[in-house]
Structure 1
């Protein structure tokens, strides 16, 4: 059998000489994903076919796929139409968030550590957003702020909209690396936010902060946007610390 083989004509693979060794298999698929040779959403061939092409056992192949799934690089779907698929941004983000959550649950990091990271990243991301936000970005952020203001009038404030606001601001900075990190951190702190008891006063402050941040970003006032976001993150952390002691 030839040394160089193809999976769906997408990228070359090299047969694994030692059976039941999954690392070389995982590494070849990993590198193909990183090099853009197989795109997000691409379905990998069936296990039997890949095992034959990699010249390894199906057991080793499954171990390789499980390792890649744990890394967030692929998703494995069961049932009809299932199989191994190259992951997209959301899957990679969830994998990173789960890793952070594990660190937090093991006691190696506290919500205060995550907020400290937010206080470093989010103000800078907001500053970048003032010069990089597109008209579509501004419309998306404004729509969330308006929705929150309407909710507040009815005495409610969706936690989802709160998370969506920070996600949209991060996306408006158009730095995918910072975007992934800050969203993963925000997802990891989500449990603490959901457990916290928010008074009407706290809800009002959150919405006002979001409105002020949006207006600063829209006006292009980078320094103001950065300061307001910094104050907002600190205010939320003070609230979480108070809730934890109640």
Structure 2
């Protein structure tokens, strides 16, 4: 028996997420479902057991995503016999910048992916000086376990420090330019504590790979990190 059209859309959105950024991709799928009206304002999301099975994520990851959506004002949890997780009747207003067209968003994200994965790989390919190593570790420490008010600035500085480690000024300049564009988009979405913790762990993986001279590992770790941010941007802004 064929599914109604809205159930077909739900099946497409609530499909198993890829590995590596389960939290961010779960957020992306949930936000897409809300933005596209698959679950209408006031509507109830599928039960946690069903959602976690369909998305292929643990109940812990799903609850973390739902808690973040609740804090961001997109859903509310109700207790009791008829309880569950419901989309709020009034959704949060979009950020202060106009959402980019889908093609523009993908252009920025693709450019960032190419530049920053290449920068991580190039940095790991160099024979680093003691000063290079001290600087990378210092920026990593500065960015770890920092509060929301300072996080984006220090996160940006770490990414620029990785680009600087390539000793290629043109690449560093290009990374700075694309980071400026990305930050304008990030300022339009909420800072999510769970994502900050996830990013901290990925930052350590990236820097460790660079310091150990592992170009392939640095590139892959950076790609995973950027994919998580891209998922959140697509979810909130697309």
TM-score tier by shorter-chain length is 0.5 to 0.7
Q: Secondary structure at the match of 2:191?
A: coil
Residue of structure 2 aligned with 1:204, choices 186, 197, 200: 197
TM-score (norm 1): 0.52
Residue of structure 1 aligned with 2:130, choices 131, 135, 154: 135
Q: Secondary structure at the match of 1:189?
A: helix
* TM-superposed deviation, 1:156: 6.2
* TM-superposed deviation, 1:163: 0.5
| CA offsets 1:97-149 (integer angstroms, 9 cap, x no match) | xxxxxxx9996962321110111121111111013233222222211221222
Unaligned 5+ runs, structure 1: 1-103
Q: Which runs of structure 2 are paired with 1:148-167 in the superposition (5 Å)?
A: 148-151=143-146, 158-167=151-160
Distance 1:108 1:198, change over 3 A: closer
Q: Secondary structure at the match of 1:212?
A: helix
Residues 136 and 162, structure 2, Cα contact 8 Å, conserved in 1: yes
Residues 145 and 197, structure 2, Cα contact 8 Å, conserved in 1: no
Aligned-CA RMSD value: 2.4
| CA offsets 1:37-69 (integer angstroms, 9 cap, x no match) | xxxxxxxxxxxxxxxxxxxxxxxxxxxxxxxxx
| CA offsets 1:169-225 (integer angstroms, 9 cap, x no match) | 000011122221121111111111122212221011111111110001011111100
- Structure of larger gyration radius: 1
Aligned length, in residue pairs: 140
Distance 1:193 1:127, change over 3 A: same
Matched residues in 2 for 1:157 and 1:105: separation?
24
Q: Secondary structure at the match of 2:187?
A: helix
1:111 is the counterpart of 2:105: yes
Distance 1:206 1:157, change over 3 A: farther
1:224 is the counterpart of 2:217: yes
TM-score (norm 2): 0.53
Greater RCO, CA 8 A, separation 6+: 2
Q: Which residue of 1 aligns with 2:93?
A: none
Residues 196 and 243, structure 1, Cα contact 8 Å, conserved in 2: yes
Q: Which residue of 2 aligns with 1:182?
A: 175
Matched residues in 1 for 2:124 and 2:167: separation?
11
Residue of structure 1 aligned with 2:120, choices 113, 123, 126: 126
